[in-house]
Structure 1
Amino acid sequence: MQEANSHLLSAKNLDEGVVLLLDKPLTWTSFDVVRKVKNTLRVKKIGHAGTLDPLATGLLILCTGKKTKEIDQIQAQEKEYTGTIRLGETTPSFDLETAVDQTRPYKHLTEEQIQEATLPFVGRIEQTPPLFSAVKIDGKRAYELARQGQEAEIKSKTVEIKAFELTRIALPDIDFRVVCSKGTYIRSLARDLGEALGCGGHLTKLVRTRIGQYQLADAFSIAAIEALRPPRPEGAGPARPERRPEARAGLDFYAANHAAPAAPAAEDTPAD
């Protein structure tokens, strides 16, 4: 992690411009991370170079100051992801944001069949983004229409899959590593692989591990950023209450099925 380089995040350096690597927490939006860093480190100018879905974790690149001019250049670089696809079940969002809407048999599949099914997806392919995505349709985000139960047609686009490696097969789950071009939807890849196998599939885990030369292993955690919060200027008055990311619209199903366990009752708590 980049904690060893925390001395580089001085107010002067941030204002002049740095490329800041963050490990995005689960359920946070990319904007949540930008806002957190902006408010914590009091950065005047900041933006991110490539969105991650709320249910994805991993490398999110933030640029500050003059480095914001490099955002488009960084976004254009190839991406690397690891994750898990569950076969035999489909969801409308192609991930865990929505409930399973269909189940199909999968136990008859062999490892050889699954490995062979990945081959047509390597190279330049046509891919249709999920309806639950930020793609714009007539000026509206596709996910807004999807969450309202509206049907919409999303045009396919050409993307490049440079590597699609299955690292573990333990049906119904398969783990993978993908190297791809900008604009690739791994959720769509999960859906398409499931369709190619005739059993359906959806994404249950996604981690972005690399963008170009930038690695997740070098990223700051949110906790590390919080530890770098500068002291409030003398006479600035009391600090505003910390604003934590609220539950994301559209993640109600996920939240309900992944609720944190209840805290123990008072009588069960050991005395000091």
Structure 2
Amino acid sequence: MVDKEVGITSHDVVQRVRRILSMRQVGHSGTLDPIASGVLVVLVGSATRVAQYLQEDDKEYHLTLLLGIETDTQDVTGQTLSRMEASHITRDAFETAVNRYRGEFLQIPPSYSAIKHNGQPLYKLARRGISVTVDPRKVTVYRAEISGWEPPRAFLKVVCSKGTYMRTLCHDIGKDLGVGGCMESLVRTRSGNFTLKDAVDLDSLARDAAAPESLLQSPASGLPFERYEPEDDVLAQILMGRTVLWPGSEKAGMISVVSGSRLLALGEVVVKNEKTVFVPRRILEPMEKTSQIKR
């Protein structure tokens, strides 16, 4: 888990981790824009196979909203579209505007985003001056609290569902207040169970590249699934992709198969022929590696 710095892309982080660890199989879960810093979950080796599950997690952000300025990217890195006086906006008025975006609502993603239209990222189309109508998406803001008020700047702590754009939240709040607004800064302080206090910066990872295990976390700790640590003979069957009897009652949702802190597979508990069984859905470690697993 990396504490991404401002000014680089999430892809830049992945490329540098590849060089530091001398590994090609590196990815990430949940993109951060160059303007943003904070928690970027970087996945290495077989952990890249669980990226889709980690992306489902909720996120926590600390952000600065700048009132009175509207830009084409909805943050301060874009071209200014309008400027308006915002000194008359009170904290109470701002609180009322923020309250409209607590809970579940529809959000229109920004033109400058990685969302694809006919196979093309929206930001590439926007750079060519091509305007695309994007359908609104359902998002949820679980918590939005004002942590500071220094007009024309407001500081927010937000906990939200995946796919919620903080840039757009800033833009929409400013628009509702009639003065415009954009995002000035953004820090992701949490992604699922991964928090900023446990993240490492790239320089620290580079210094400890010879023994990076102390800086790496098992993806099992970030998955919101019940853990199952079977006996060796059952584990061998699971890692061959075979269905095994489940030693308990039926469970809903995915199950993480682990050995200690090591994530080996994902699967589901279902009822087949009146028997409760565990069905492997994704194998992260091949069976031939089981002899290397330290229980």
TM-score of the pair, normalised by structure 2: 0.69
Provide the C-alpha distance between the structure 2 equivalents of 1:206 and 1:185, rounded to a whole number of angstroms.
11
| Per-residue deviation, 1:75 | 0.9
Deviations 1:167-218 (A, max 9, x none): 1111000011000001000000000000111111000000100011110111
Give the equivalent residue in structure 1 for 2:193: 213
Provide the C-alpha distance between the structure 2 equivalents of 1:92 and 1:45, rounded to a whole number of angstroms.
35
Secondary structure at the residue paired with 1:27?
coil
Give the equivalent residue in structure 2 for 1:126: 106
1:61 aligns with 2:69: no
- Which residue of 169, 189, 194 corresponds with 1:189? 169
Whose strand proportion is higher, 1 or 2? 2
Provide the C-alpha distance between the structure 2 equivalents of 1:145 and 1:73, rounded to a whole number of angstroms.
29
1:153 aligns with 2:128: no
- Which residue of 10, 14, 17 corresponds with 1:37? 17
- Which residue of 148, 164, 170 corresponds with 2:150? 170
Deviations 1:137-173 (A, max 9, x none): 1221111111112222111110001011111111000
Provide the C-alpha distance between the structure 1 equivalents of 2:202 and 2:8, rounded to a whole number of angstroms.
11
1:93 aligns with 2:73: yes
Unaligned runs of 5+ in 2: 212-295
Aligned AA (1:210): R
Query: Is the CA contact (8 Å cut-off) linking 1:86 and 1:202 kept in structure 2?
Result: yes
| Per-residue deviation, 1:226 | 1.5
User: What is the RMSD computed on CA atoms of the aligned residues?
Assistant: 1.3
Give the equivalent residue in structure 1 for 2:2: 22
Secondary structure at the residue paired with 1:121?
coil
Task: Give % identity.
Answer: 35
Provide the C-alpha distance between the structure 1 equivalents of 2:49 and 2:122, rounded to a whole number of angstroms.
28
Give the equivalent residue in structure 2 for 1:16: none
1:179 aligns with 2:167: no
Provide the C-alpha distance between the structure 2 equivalents of 1:97 and 1:22, rounded to a whole number of angstroms.
23
| Per-residue deviation, 1:97 | 2.0
Count of residues in Structure 1 that have an aligned counterpart in Structure 2: 211
Secondary structure at the residue paired with 2:100?
helix
Give the equivalent residue in structure 2 for 1:142: 122
After superposing on structure 2, the runs of 4+ consecutive aligned residues of structure 1 that deviate more than 4 Å are: none
Provide the C-alpha distance between the structure 1 equivalents of 2:7 and 2:208, rounded to a whole number of angstroms.
23
Unaligned runs of 5+ in 1: 1-20, 232-272
Aligned AA (1:161): V
| Per-residue deviation, 1:59 | 0.4
Provide the C-alpha distance between the structure 1 equivalents of 2:209 and 2:161, rounded to a whole number of angstroms.
35
Give the equivalent residue in structure 2 for 1:77: 57
Secondary structure at the residue paired with 1:105?
coil
Secondary structure at the residue paired with 1:94?
coil
| Per-residue deviation, 1:26 | 1.0
| Per-residue deviation, 1:80 | 0.3
Query: Is the CA contact (8 Å cut-off) linking 1:86 and 1:173 kept in structure 2?
Result: yes
Query: Is the CA contact (8 Å cut-off) linking 1:41 and 1:228 kept in structure 2?
Result: no
Secondary structure at the residue paired with 1:39?
helix
| Per-residue deviation, 1:22 | 0.1
- Which residue of 65, 69, 83 corresponds with 1:103? 83
Secondary structure at the residue paired with 2:145?
strand
Provide the C-alpha distance between the structure 2 equivalents of 1:180 and 1:142, rounded to a whole number of angstroms.
23
Secondary structure at the residue paired with 2:40?
strand
Aligned AA (2:47): K
Give the equivalent residue in structure 1 for 2:237: none
When Rg is computed on C-alpha atoms for both structures, the one with the higher figure is 2
Provide the C-alpha distance between the structure 1 equivalents of 2:57 and 2:203, rounded to a whole number of angstroms.
27
Give the equivalent residue in structure 2 for 1:5: none
| Per-residue deviation, 1:107 | 1.4
